[in-house]
A and B are shown apart, each in its own frame.
Chain A
Amino acid sequence: MQITLYQCGDDPRTVRKTLQNAIVISAEIKEACSTETPDFFVAYDDTIITGHYNYAEAWGRYYYIGDPDLVPGQGMILHGRHDVLMTYADQIGGCPAVIRRSSALPNTYLDDPQLPVAAYRLQQVLTFADFAYIPQAVIVCVG
C-alpha cells in the first residue's frame, strides 16, 4: 500500500491542518492493528527521520506519526494515531453546532468565569451639578 507522509507544524487541535512536503512511500501492515492506531512498516529512510515527517495519509484518513521504531534489517515502524478532525473536516463543516467560546466572534457580554480579574476595585466618580448653597431664607407664618 502507499501512504503519504507530510510535515505538519500545526497544533494538533487544528481541524484543517497545513501539510507540507508530501512524500509517497510504500508501507505494509505486518501485524494486526486497528485503523485508529495502525503501525505502518516502511523501508528505512533517513528523510523520514531527519525531515521530521510526523503526519501521514492512508485510506483517505489522516494520522499523526509518532517517533518511529527502527527495526533491524532496514525497516521502520511508523505508529499512526488517527486524526479524526482532519479526516472528517469536510463533514464536520456541515454539522449544526453551538459554539460557546470563539476567538473570532466573541460576545463580550456573556459571563466568562475564565477571565482573570483583579481582586481590587477601581473607583470612578461622576458628579452632577452641585448645590452652590446660596441659601434662601423662607418664613412660614400665620398672620
Chain B
Amino acid sequence: MQVQLFRGSYGQDPQSFTTCSFDFTDGTAGVDYTAPTVTETTVLPSGERGKVCYFDVPSAGMDRLTGYSTDPASTQNLAAQPQARIYQEGDTWICDTMPDAEPLTIGEQPEDWTLHYRDRYYTRSTVSAQGFGGSIYIYYAAGATYNAAAQYYRYDGAQVMYYTAGHGFFGVSRYFRTFTTNRTRFYELCGNLRRVADPGDVPAGVTDPFIWRSEGATGSALVPMSLSGATIQGDVRSDLTTAAGTLSGRMLQQLVEFEYDGTEYIGIVYIQRSLDGIATNASITGVSLTFWRGEPPRPNYGRSSGISYGVGTFSDPSTPVGVPPMQTALTSTDYGAGMHIRLLSTYDQQGSPSGLTILMRELWSTTGFWSIWRNLRYDPLSAIISLHMIPHPLAPIYSGSELTIALTKITVPNGIPGSRLIDIDKGTVQIPEYYGSRLDYAPHTQAEIYLPFCGEYPLDISDVMGGSVGVTYRIDIATGDCVAFVLGTDRRGLTTISKQYKGNCAYRIPVSGSDNGGAGLMAALSSMVGGTVGMAAGNVVGGAAQIIGGAAKAVTAPVHTTTPQVQGSASAMGVLTPYIKIYRVEQQRPEHYADLIGDTAAIGGSVEYVDTYAVTGYTVFESIDLSGVVATDAEKDEIRRLLQGGVYL
C-alpha cells in the first residue's frame, strides 16, 4: 500500500504540493520529513497486534495536525499534535491524529462535551472493508477571530462511520455555540446530513463570531482536489456556499491522498487550516478519511433545495436592540421645586426603630407640643406624594438624619438614592431543544413567561428555542412603575429586545386614614391642641396607634385616597420569581419509524445510489426527472409511482 502525503502551505495551489510517499507494508521508501514509520508489532487500541503507520506532520511548510489557542482568555495550552497515524483493525481502516482518541459512535453523545473535547481531540474516521460508496461532506465553522474546526459527516452504506474532527477551541465553551446556533444552517449547507451529536449548551451573551459567505467568492479558496485521478473543483465547499456572501475563512485543504491496492480504496485526509489573516498555526485541525470503491462520488449531493431559492440578498445584518441606557433626565432624585426621593430603612431592629417607623411617629406624634403644632401647622402629610416599598433593596449614596417635608425638618434617618431609575437583572435561562426537531417549535411546543408585577404573557417559542431568554427590570423607584425587558437570543446568537412589559411594583404604605375612620384620632388630636382641628388636613389615619407601632402593620392598611395614585401591585403577595413555562407535546415515535416510514427530508440532487449510496434506506421521492431513462412511458409512470410511494435504496 502506497501512502502519499502532499505537503504545501496555506494558499498554495495544492496541485503544486510536494509529494511524499511511503510503503505502508514495510515502512520503506519513506521520504522527506514527513517521516512515516510503520510499526509491525504495535498493539492496536483494540488490543490486537497489527501495523500502524505513524507520520509526522511538520510545523513548517505544511500545517500541522494541530493548533494552539490564540484566545488570551483560554486556559488551554494545547499541545501540538504533530503526528497522525493510519492503521487497520480487522476490516477497518482508521486514521486519527491522537493516539488515545476515543471513538465516538454516530448518534452517541458524550456526557460532557466540554470536558470531552477539552481533553480529547477527535480526528478519526473508520471504514469497513465491506463498505463502499459515499461522498464526503464537511462541516466547517469559520471563526473570524479565533479558530475554526471541521465537523464532517460521511453517511454510510451501513458500514462507514464518521466522527467529528477538530481540536483546540472545542475546549472553549464559546466555540460550542457555533455548532448550536448554526446547526440548522449546517444542515442546510450540508444537505441535511446526519449529525454525530450535538454540542453542549452555549453560554449566554457570547457574540457570534461566525459569518458565512459564498466560498466561491474567495478566489483562491477553491482548492481543486485530485481524487483518484479525477479533479473535482471545490467539492465539499460547494455545499458550504451561502448566498449571504459576507466573509469567512477558507478552511479546507487536502493534505493526504493515498491509495490502497491500486484502485479499490481511496482515502483523503483533509486538514482544516487557518483562517484568513491568522497564522497557520492558529488553526483547528480536522481530519477525515473516507474510502470508496470506483469513481469518486459527487460530494455535493444532497443540498437542500432551499438554499438558493428566491432572489433576496440572503443577507440579514442586524443591529441588536438591548436594554436602553438610562436617560439622565429621568434619573434625578431631587427636583427644583423641592420634591425629592429618599430611602427609609424598613425593618425595626431591637432598640433601633426603622426610618419608616420614626417617620410615622413624627408624623403622628401625640407627645410634644412642637411636634403636634408642626404637624397641624404645616400638614406634612399633604407634602408626601408617595410612601411605598419597592421589592429591591437600595444602597443610598448619601445618608442624612433629617427629612424636609412641607418646609419643616423632621428628624428621620434617610438616604439619597443614586438614581430614580434602577435596573435589576434577573438573569438568563437557556432554552435548549428538547427533541432537536420540529417538535421543539410551535405549534408543538408553546411557552409563556411570567413576570412579577407585569403579568403573564405568551412567549413565541420559535423566537428563542435553541437560544436563551433574559429578563431585566427597570424600575422607577419614585412611582414603582417598571418595565420588564425580555431579551431573546435566537439560535444564531443574536440577542435583542424581544418584548417589553410594563407594570408597577410599588407597595403602597398609607400615611393617613381619611377613609379608615380617622375621626376619632382627629378628635383626640383636636383636644390636645385646643381647637386646632380645623387646621388639620383630612389626611389623618384613624388607626394611628397601629401604624406607629410598626411599619409592618402599616402596609396592610388601604391606600390613602388623596395621595397620588400609583397602582399597587398584588404581585408583591404572589410569586416573585420570573419564570418561563414551556408546554410540549410528547412524541410517540414508533420503533422502525425511520426505516419504514422515513423522516422528513428536503434533498435535491441526483439519486446516484449506485456508486455512492448518497441516499440509502427508505426513501420517498417528491419528484424525479426520468428523462434519461430509456423506458416506455408506462414504465416511467410506474417507476415514478413506486418512487413516490417509497422505496429502499
Contacts and interface: CB of A to CB of B under 8 A. Distances in A.
Interface string A117-138: 1111111111111111111111
A10 B618 CA distance: 13
Interface string B152-189: 00010000000000000000000000000000100100
A50 interface: no
Interface in B431-457: 431, 434-439, 441, 444, 452
Nearest to A113: B600
B603 A141 contact: no
Interface string B276-320: 000000000000000000000000001011000000000000000
A116 B597 CA distance: 12
A94 interface: yes
Contacts of B625: 95-97
Given A115-B589, A139-B341, A98 B478 contact: no
Interface stretch (A19-27, A62-70, A102-110): A102-110
Contacts of B588: 116-118
Contacts of B583: 121-124
A15 interface: yes
B226 interface: no
A73 to B, nearest CB: 35
A10 B649 CA distance: 11
Contact of A142 (B337, B617, B624, B639): B337
B642 A85 contact: yes
A137 B356 CA distance: 7
Given A101-B601, A109-B438, A93 B390 contact: no
Contact of A100 (B417, B579, B584, B602): B602
A102 B359 CA distance: 75
Interface size class of B (residues with CB under 8 A): 35 or more
B460 to A, nearest CB: 15
A82 B631 CA distance: 12
A33 interface: no
Contacts of B436: 108
Nearest to B581: A125
Contact of B609 (A16, A114, A120): A16
Nearest to B451: A128
A131 B387 contact: no
B599 A112 contact: yes
A137 B346 contact: yes
B305 A13 contact: no
A28 interface: no
A107 B390 contact: no
Contacts of B390: 135-136, 138
Given A100-B601, A139-B414, A140-B341, A95 B383 contact: no
B604 interface: yes
Interface string A32-65: 0000100000000000000000000000000000
Contacts of B524: none
Contact of A98 (B193, B386, B621): B621
Interface in B418-437: 424-431, 434-437
B629 interface: yes
B430 to A, nearest CB: 8
Contact of A93 (B343, B345, B606): B606
Interface stretch (B208-216, B244-252, B400-408): B400-408
Interface in B614-646: 615-631, 634-635, 638-639, 642-643, 645-646
Contact of B192 (A11, A82, A106, A126): A106
Nearest to B344: A137
B630 A137 contact: no
Counting chain A CB atoms within 10 Å of each CB, the highest count among B304, B406, B598 belongs to B598
Contacts of B618: 101-103
Contact of B339 (A11, A14, A129, A141): A141
A92 interface: yes
A143 interface: yes
A40 B594 CA distance: 38
Given A93-B608, A111-B600, A137 B619 contact: no
A1 interface: no
B605 interface: yes
A138 B635 contact: no
B477 interface: yes
A84 B643 CA distance: 11
B394 A136 contact: yes
Given A97-B606, A142-B383, A91 B391 contact: no
B585 A97 contact: no
Name, among B342, B471, B576, B643, the residue most crowded by chain A CB atoms within 10 Å (CB to CB).
B643
A124 B582 CA distance: 5
A82 B622 CA distance: 23
Contacts of B597: 101, 114
B579 A138 contact: no
Interface of B: 155, 184, 187, 191-194, 302, 304-305, 337-346, 354-356, 359, 380, 383-394, 403-408, 414, 417, 424-431, 434-439, 441, 444, 452, 471, 477-479, 506-507, 509, 551, 572, 576-590, 593-595, 597-611, 615-631, 634-635, 638-639, 642-643, 645-649
20 contacts: A16-B609, A82-B638, A87-B631, A94-B607, A97-B624, A101-B598, A102-B599, A107-B602, A108-B437, A115-B593, A122-B583, A127-B578, A129-B426, A130-B577, A135-B391, A135-B393, A140-B479, A142-B339, A143-B340, A143-B408
Interface of A: 10-11, 13-16, 36, 82, 84-85, 87-112, 114-143
Closest 4 CB pairs of A and B: A106-B599, A101-B598, A130-B577, A103-B617
